[in-house]
Amino acid sequence: MKTLTRRLFDAAVVVVALCGAAAATAQPYPNKSILIKVAYPAGFGVDASVRPSAPVLQRALGQNLVVENMPGANGSIAAMNVLNASPDGYTLLATAGPDFVVAPLTVASAKYTSDSFKLIGSFGSADMVLVSHPDRPFSNLNALVEQMQKPGAKQLSIAHWGQGTLAHLAAAEYQGRVGVKLLEVPYKGIAPVATAVGGGEVDLAFVPLAGPILGMIQTGRIKAIAIASAKRHALLPDVATLGEHARFTNFEFGIWTGLFAPTRTPDAVVARLTKAFHEWNDSPEFLALATAQGLRRLDSMTPPQAAAFLRAENEKFTNIAKTLNLVAQ
């Protein structure tokens, strides 16, 4: 009898444990901290767009948000890490959209496609600006082109953060328009690129007009040569667009930052994240950030709208990348 009683007790314990586990599983999302893996170094670009959103997203989701930088390989290290995590909405990816869609063409270890992820929303878009060190002898686009085309002139260098990144695509397009080859110098992210230009290690770079970049220009740490946009920027009205030069008609490059979840993430979780992201995108905090940094706000998107936007961006930037005959390394 004692043995039977003991067995019944043990069975009851198992049932209670299973019920407890089921109840925990059934708890509405989210019920613990959420980790966002940023695909670039801290301080600039993507990181500077993501971190200010944390307080609003935490308030909207009712859980802590942890931001972790995981740079390297054109953002694909973080992308693969998130893709291999449990698709439960607790590990998300923040990265530059154009780099995200092109990385699989240039990085052999980037074993994903844009269909491997769902776009939750965009933290905003920034125009690319061509910058140089302040002591370089050219102060505008005309002078730079003349300098590059001088017979016997020293070859200038241009930085980017990896083959196939938007900075690399813009640099390649720029060199093709001028007809002069620059010395390309790769770094691990936007922050090292901006630091290299400010320190005089390289002559030129295309960087997004976001985060600390605007402040570096306004304080004279780096010099803005021209903006790769359709019209001049309201915060830098004296800086011409590249399109104002005859060689650079329709020379437009902008970079957007996105929040992504693996495709296998449940629709209900994606819907919850989307709702919280809309609160950030429509918040006074985001408006203030966009005004200060010069970001352009993208409209809040439903999951189907976000999927359509990502497909269009994938087609656009992979077509640009393919013209360069990039090879995965």
Q: Which residues pair with 130 in a beta bridge?
A: 206, 226
Q: What is the pTM (predicted TM-score) of this model?
A: 0.82
Taking the C-alpha atoms of residue 271 and residue 328, their distance in angstroms, rounded to an integer, is 35
Who's near 294: CB < 8 A, 6+ residues apart? Answer: 126, 127, 209, 210, 214, 233, 234, 235, 236
Are 47 and 41 a contacting pair, CB within 8 Å? Answer: yes
Which segments of the chain are extended strands (E)?
Answer: 34-38, 65-69, 91-96, 117-132, 157-160, 183-186, 204-208, 223-227, 254-262
| Extents of the domains making up the chain | 33-126+255-322, 130-248
Q: Is 279 exposed, middle or buried (0-12, 13-18, 19+ CB in 10 A)?
A: middle
Q: Which structure tokens are listed for 245?
A: 């030069």
Q: Is 267 exposed, middle or buried (0-12, 13-18, 19+ CB in 10 A)?
A: exposed
H-assigned helices in 120-248: 141-149, 166-178, 190-198, 213-218
Name the architecture of domain 33-126+255-322.
3-Layer(aba) Sandwich (3.40)
Taking the C-alpha atoms of residue 93 and residue 81, their distance in angstroms, rounded to an integer, is 9
CATH topology of domain 130-248: D-Maltodextrin-Binding Protein; domain 2 (3.40.190)
Are 93 and 84 a contacting pair, CB within 8 Å? Answer: no
33-126+255-322 and 130-248, same CATH topology:
yes
pLDDT in tens, the chain (329 residues): 445 455 544 544 444 444 444 444 457 999 999 999 999 988 888 898 999 999 999 999 999 999 999 998 889 999 999 999 999 999 999 999 999 999 998 899 999 999 999 999 999 999 999 999 999 999 899 999 999 999 988 999 999 988 888 999 999 999 999 999 999 999 988 889 999 999 999 999 999 998 789 899 999 999 999 999 999 998 899 999 999 999 999 999 999 999 999 999 999 999 999 999 999 999 999 999 998 888 889 999 999 999 999 999 999 888 888 887 776 67
